[in-house]
Amino acid sequence: MALDSYVGLGRSGLKVSPFCLGAMNFGEDGGFGCTVEEAEKILQAYLDRGGNFVDTANFYTNGHSEAILGDFLAARPGVRDRLVLATKFYGNLHLGDPNGGGASRKAIIGQLEDSLRRLRTDYIDLYWLHNHDRSTPVEETLRTLDDLVTAGKIRYVGFSDTPAWFTAKAHTTALLRDWTPVTALQMEYSLLERTIEGELIPLAQDTGMGVLAWSPLKSGYLSGKYRRGRATSADVRRAAVLGQPSDVQFTVIEALATVAEATGASPAAVALAWLRDRPGVSSTIIGPRTLEHFEANLAGLDVRLTPEQTATLDEVSAPTLNFPYDLNQRVGRMLKYAGATVDGEPSAVYPPLLASAVRY
């Protein structure tokens, strides 16, 4: 597989690379990002490999991330229209202004105009709501976004980091009002964060939303740098903020290292390959800070895990999901099929049930 092995973003007509280039680390504002020069090297390498999907947000590195992208694309006429360019709204860059962030009509329009200016473009391909705004009616947000689609300033609408109930409500409201629906979800997903499998992944699959996974290496925990008993990672600054993995997380990290050794690939590449093949996932965000990191991440496109290796990683990283997921899984088939075999899978018999006759 390669970056130019494009996939559909859910059931939409939009085609994107299997790895999306995340620009959260573009710019040194905040202390963890990369220089403009390094960011442009990464961008060019991504384009040279056939990548077409770039994701940022209005507040990444205080707006510098968007500005870096805008300057890069402005210097290369014709490239912008070949890209699927995504950014987000919600983050407030105006200290003391209660209307500077969130998902109100005023906030959305103001944030979009600022993003368009920094990105030096007149439209955004995929515009993400970055968080759940509890103080703004969802109808206000959706109608504003639909107006912007009609005006040609955005093409598609996505939701990032929003609860499943809210996302389902928003999507249904949009369909009923004949407004632009939610095309994709951007959610944290990795071997160390699988709880979206309870409700958000099934929601996406049922509605045809594409899923874009962020933090696939869990902030570097799955990169291969962490070992049980070692005090810090190779990135001391980041480790000081994030801390060390827990004992449970180290169990997953060690299992990943074992599978990686068997495949001859890095733990990072194996973690990315596992996520690439998860049901519902359209694309995965990689967020390199160096060209070296970018090249290492691309190796995840070439790794092919055996069913046994996938099962090992599935089992060791199995999440505890919110009620009623476990109840549905444990007793759903038993109560529904009462011992019958359906689709090649047998069901158990509810113990009190007498299979020989219906008593009442």
Q: How far apart are CA 148 and CA 107, in angstroms?
A: 13
What integer pLDDT is reported at residue 235 of this predicted model? 56
Per-residue pLDDT, averaged over 94-112, amounts to 97
pLDDT per position as a tens digit, 26-84: 999 877 899 999 999 999 999 999 999 999 999 999 999 999 999 999 999 999 999 99
What integer pLDDT is reported at residue 216 of this predicted model? 98
Amino acid at 317: S
What integer pLDDT is reported at residue 356 of this predicted model? 55
What integer pLDDT is reported at residue 98 of this predicted model? 95
Q: List the domain boundaries for the chain.
A: 7-316, 323-360
Q: Look over the chain and give the mean of its residue pLDDT values, rounded to a whole number.
A: 93
Structural contact between residues 50 and 192, judged by C-beta atoms closer than 8 angstroms: no
pLDDT per position as a tens digit, 175-202: 999 999 999 999 999 999 999 999 999 9
Could you write out the three-class secondary structure of 115-127?
A: HHHHHCCCCEEEE
pLDDT per position as a tens digit, 115-128: 999 999 999 999 99
Could you write out the three-class secondary structure of the chain?
A: CCCCCCEECCCCCCEECCEEEECCCECCCCCCCECHHHHHHHHHHHHHCCCCEEECCCCHHHHHHHHHHHHHHHCCCCCHHHCEEEEEECCCCCCCCCCCCCCCHHHHHHHHHHHHHHHCCCCEEEEEECCCCCCCCHHHHHHHHHHHHHCCCEEEEEEECCCHHHHHHHHHHHHHHCCCCEEEEEEECECCECHHHCCHHHHHHHHCCEEEEECCCCCCCCCCCCCCCCCCCCCHHHHHHHCCCCHHHHHHHHHHHHHHHHHCCCHHHHHHHHHHCCCCEEEEEECCCCHHHHHHHHHHHCCCCCHHHHHHHHHHCCCCCCCCHHHHHHHHHHHHHCCCEECCEECCCCCCCCCCCCCC
What integer pLDDT is reported at residue 360 of this predicted model? 63
Q: What percent of the chain has pLDDT over 90?
A: 82
Per-residue pLDDT, averaged over 75-99, amounts to 96
pLDDT per position as a tens digit, 262-313: 999 999 999 999 999 999 999 999 999 999 999 999 999 999 999 999 999 9
Give the active site residues.
60
| CATH classification (class only), 7-316 | alpha beta
Q: How far apart are CA 32 and CA 150, in angstroms?
A: 38
pLDDT per position as a tens digit, 131-181: 999 999 999 999 999 999 999 999 999 999 999 999 999 999 999 999 999
